[in-house]
Structure 1
């Protein structure tokens, strides 16, 4: 786990597991969220304009990962003049992806919900690469628990999320891009697959899965997200965990 402040339908189980295997190769807050009145004035003053929550890919060292770091760097350049806080999702990102990805989903969800509770005026950006993209899918694009996770973000959180950016998303390989299957986040999402990357397409260009930065897709995502952040106005919403 790391944090930094700066300025700047349904698929079969077999298909799902196969898609997640390709990604491998290449707790939720119990009390829920409370209204903005619970945050102290001091906490409000320290809230960033933008909170980025990003999940790295399989086997990358703890932190943002190479794609995540490039995306964050480009986004900070695009958002010059705004304060940006960055949170690297704390999860194993191991080859045991069926166990690892849900851990990432829970950690990302907890951080996002905590941000909404303490900083309701902050615009949230969610991102992930490869297995990290799968973790993001679990909380934003699978409300019916098609993949067996069943712990999506509370619906009202969507009002606080300016954009979602995923790279090399295994769900895209099986025809479930986040942009198409997420009723709450799809319109503000960008789901990028690099050419014939076999993790997210029917192609077989394995090196493509490691070339998102070189292909300019981190910058493309940053451009998209910056545009969404510019037009975003978080709403003050009270979220009750019992309504989940």
Structure 2
């Protein structure tokens, strides 16, 4: 089954590469900011070029185009233009998912399903369909279900827009939803092992949520896994010793750059990520 999903995802990646010229993501500044609005006196600092990009990624620097995209995304007209692109990409991806039979929405918690041994709260990437997306979430869950064996698994996608403009806000739009689902899982199912995970902008949602949650709540989270994390390799608040940040060497998003093919291949890491989650759940 998982091999079939891998083949299906390969087909999807081939298709999406045709539109990769429009599916760009502008880089984040080297220092994270929780502000939703860039103030005039902080623009110069916030938009300063990244200096920690590895040599292998030097062809994807946070250069003039990156800075330009960040600037226009703070303007109503510019933000609307970027999100108009996203509105075209999302239904295209959903159509591809439908054709190959991949489910892009999971609402086990929202539907008050029975408590499971492991509960995953997942935030999808920018413009992805549903609430768990297509590129990373589904293969990760398939691998996790397989490795859990007879143990039960509950899946809940974070409800948030996942727009280009939201990426520029460091994924803060997804924090309320992820926070609510984590609290619900811990309160309603005290014996479940809670896993917090996200891909691309979803990784930023994870980080924002970890910063917002009280320490005693984060201590009850079993593991945290991010894929294509724009804040790699910065530690995630309250998740010391139980974090796995998966970033490909040539994924420029992991160093504040643009989307490359390597940002779309985290299905390849589904098995290793699932093993990490199972190990932490059993410890």
TM tier relative to shorter chain = 0.5 to 0.7
Alignment-derived partner of residue 227 in structure 1: 279
For structure 2, which runs of at least 5 residues remain unmatched after alignment?
1-29, 33-44, 51-61, 71-81, 87-111
* Residue 76 (structure 1) shift: 0.8
Matched, 1:57 2:125: yes
Candidates 179, 192, 196, aligned match of 2:250: 196
* Partners of 1:204 and 1:91 in 2: CA distance: 22
Matched, 1:125 2:125: no
Alignment-derived partner of residue 209 in structure 1: 263
Alignment-derived partner of residue 164 in structure 1: 224
For structure 1, which runs of at least 5 residues remain unmatched after alignment?
1-8, 27-42, 144-151, 232-244
* Partners of 2:204 and 2:157 in 1: CA distance: 15
Provide, for residues 90-147 of structure 1, a one-character-per-residue CA deviation record: whole Å limited to 9, x for no partner.
Answer: 111111123582121110011001111111111100110000011101112xx4xxxx
Contact 1:196/1:204 (8 A) holds in 2: no
Provide, for residues 20-70 of structure 1, a one-character-per-residue CA deviation record: whole Å limited to 9, x for no partner.
Answer: 979x999xxxxxxxxxxxxxxxx9x93211110001111110131220111
Contact 2:230/2:256 (8 A) holds in 1: no
Contact 1:52/1:125 (8 A) holds in 2: yes
Larger Rg: 2
Q: TM-score, normalised by structure 1?
A: 0.68
The structure-2 alpha-carbon separation of the partners of 1:95 and 1:205, relative to structure 1 and needing over 3 Å to count, comes to closer
Q: Structure 1 stretch 204-213 or stretch 89-98: which is displaced more? A: 204-213
Alignment-derived partner of residue 68 in structure 1: 137
Alignment-derived partner of residue 152 in structure 2: 83
The structure-2 alpha-carbon separation of the partners of 1:199 and 1:100, relative to structure 1 and needing over 3 Å to count, comes to closer
* Partners of 2:130 and 2:182 in 1: CA distance: 19
Greater RCO structure (CA 8 Å; 6+ sep): 1
Which consecutive segments of 4 or more residues in structure 1 shift more than 2 A? 9-22, 201-205
The count of corresponding residues between Structure 1 and Structure 2 is: 187
User: 1:3-82, aligned counterparts within 5 Å?
Assistant: 10-11=31-32, 13-14=46-47, 46-66=114-134, 67-82=136-151
* Residue 15 (structure 1) shift: 5.8
Contact 1:75/1:223 (8 A) holds in 2: yes
Secondary structure, aligned partner of 2:271: helix
Alignment-derived partner of residue 153 in structure 1: 213
Secondary structure, aligned partner of 1:187: coil
Alignment-derived partner of residue 172 in structure 2: 102
The structure-2 alpha-carbon separation of the partners of 1:87 and 1:168, relative to structure 1 and needing over 3 Å to count, comes to same
Q: Larger % of helix: which? A: 2
